[in-house]
Amino acid sequence: MSGEQSTSIELGERVANACRVLGALDLTPGTLGHASARIPGTDRILIRARGPAELGMRYTSADQVIEITMDGRRTAAADAAARDGLAAPLEVHIHTELYRARPEIHGVVHVHPQIPVLLSICDQPLQPIYGAYDPHGLRLLLDGVPTFDRSILIDTPALGRDFAAVMGKARACIMRGHGLTTAANSVEEAALAVIHLNELATMTYRAQLLGNVRPIAPDEQQAFRAMDIDAGYGDLRPGIPSGRAVSLWRYFDRRARDLAPPG
């Protein structure tokens, strides 16, 4: 087995695991959603497949992760989908156009978490309502979380480019009445961005139910903007979790395993 084949097999399992974690945490329902990773040093992508043979996000296995080109086509033989029941997602262009526009990212996640979608439907923005409770979620918001204001399938390259232009260099983008897309150094870090933003959305929603919502003070927001959250956790490692994300992902991975049904 070549080094590239070994890397692809390991990366495929990491993509599948990110899907399982997000599914176990109920951050996307049923078969909706997909995660992907760029194969290092190439223009090829590993992505959770859709089709009659899939088992949904929560039960994704490595054999349900397929390799595609930057045009969204499978690299396998033309009749592969007919044989194995797996095809690229309709919204594959979310992934391909983000990778095309942003060579620094190696992981993309698109999911349909209920509370962020609900807030987008009601034109209720995420708010900087906490700091030390979850600095990562706050930093995501302070760095900017744009909204793609169309509730449609991103099923063409042109729509993918439109979406990528709205998302820009942000690590997350809310899609009105649709879902949430994140992009990061690795597929695990993209999944963590979903987890953090869902927590912020849930807290925003609950705070609004209680009333008298008060964001943290501007000087405190600035302090978290300037904070080096990953200090002491090592240097950036392209394509794999780095910084504090290493231990955070280990925690959520274990939690998802604990939530998994027996057998």
Is 220 considered catalytic here? Answer: no
Pairing of strands 65-68, 172-175: unpaired
* pLDDT at 230 (0 to 100): 76
Q: What is the mean pLDDT of residues 15-32?
A: 96
Token pair recorded at residue 122: 């009601």
Q: What pLDDT is attached to residue 232?
A: 63
Q: How far apart are the first and last CA of the chain?
A: 31
Write out the E strands in the chain. Answer: 34-38, 45-48, 65-68, 107-111, 147-148, 172-175, 179-184
Residue 71, number of CB atoms within 10 A of its CB: 12
Kindly list the distances between the CA atom of residue 191 and the CA atoms of 14, 184, 185, 223, in Å, as whole numbers in the listed order. Answer: 11, 9, 11, 25
**Above 90 in pLDDT, residue 80?**
no
Q: What are phi and psi of 208, to 5 degrees?
A: -65, -30
How sure is the predictor about 209, in pLDDT bands with cuts at 50, 70 and 90?
Answer: very high
Hey, what are 88's tokens?
């690229």
For the cut 90, the answer to whether the pLDDT of residue 101 exceeds it is yes
Per-residue confidence at 243, pLDDT binned at 50, 70, 90? confident
**Higher per-residue pLDDT: 29 or 6:** 29
Domain ranges of the chain: 3-259
Question: Which one from 10, 13, 67, 91 is the annotated catalytic residue?
Answer: 91
How many other CB atoms sit within 10 Å of the CB of residue 199?
Answer: 16
CATH topology for the 3-259 domain:
L-fuculose-1-phosphate Aldolase (3.40.225)
Q: Is the pLDDT of residue 113 over 70?
A: yes
Distances (CA, A) of 54 to 42, 64, 69, 154, 173: 26, 6, 20, 20, 26
